[in-house]
Amino acid sequence: MQPGYESFKKQHGFLRALNEMKALEGPIIEETTEASKRTDNPHAKRVFGKWAQDSKEHSRLLQDIIDGYRGAAYGAICKTCMSDLCDASYNKFVLGKLLEVSKGRFAARDLYDLTKKHLFIEGDLARNYAEMAEMTDDEDMKAELIRLEGDEKVHHEEAQQLIDALEKTYGRLLKEV
**Cα–Cα distance between 13 and 9 in angstroms, integer?**
6
Is the pTM above the cut of 0.75? yes
Count CB-CB contacts under 10 A for residue 5: 9
What's residue 107's pLDDT?
A: 81
Closest CA relative to residue 174, chosen from 107, 98, 103: 107
Model confidence at 137: pLDDT above 90: no
Is domain 3-175 annotated with CATH 1.20.1260.10?
A: yes
Model confidence at 109: pLDDT above 90: no
* Average pLDDT of span 48-57: 97
**Cα–Cα distance between 130 and 151 in angstroms, integer?**
11
What's residue 73's pLDDT?
A: 53
**Cα–Cα distance between 44 and 64 in angstroms, integer?**
30
Closest CA relative to residue 77, chosen from 141, 132, 15: 15
Model confidence at 75: pLDDT above 70: no
What's residue 10's pLDDT?
A: 73
What average pLDDT is seen over the chain?
A: 80
What's residue 86's pLDDT?
A: 42
The residue extents of the domains of the chain are 3-175
More confidently predicted of 81 and 136: 136
What is the tens place of the pLDDT at every residue in 25-37?
988 999 999 999 9
More confidently predicted of 92 and 152: 152
